[in-house]
Amino acid sequence: MSRYVKNEPGYEKVEFEGRKIRQALKRAKASRKRPTSVALDAKLIKALKAEAEARGVPYQVLMRMFIIEGFRRLEKIS
């Protein structure tokens, strides 16, 4: 069963600081990932999805992990 903060005792007494919320939003917006697309063969996508399921992560996260790791290896060589 999910628990929500609003259900916690004392929540109605919480005061939010607008300045801190705006600062956090700016940080989050600056660090957002930008969407891109890559055309992949259907067999490769199927294999990626199977590997991702075995690792317990979404397949797009797995692809991102592979890209980042590959790029880091490339940087070490250069």
Name the residue with higher pLDDT: 6 or 26: 26
pLDDT in tens, 57-78: 999 999 999 999 999 999 998 7
In 2-41, where does DSSP find H-type helix? 18-30
SS3 62: helix
Q: What angle do CA 58, 63, 67 make, to 5 degrees?
A: 150
Q: What total number of domains does the chain contain? A: 1
Q: Is the model's pLDDT at 16 over the cut of 80?
A: no
Domain that holds residue 49: 5-77
pTM for the model? 0.58
Let me know: does 62 contact 52? Beta carbons within 8 Å.
yes
b/e map of 55-72 (b: 16 or more CB within 10 Å)?
A: eeeebeebbeeeeeeeee
pLDDT in tens, 19-47: 888 888 888 877 778 889 999 999 999 99
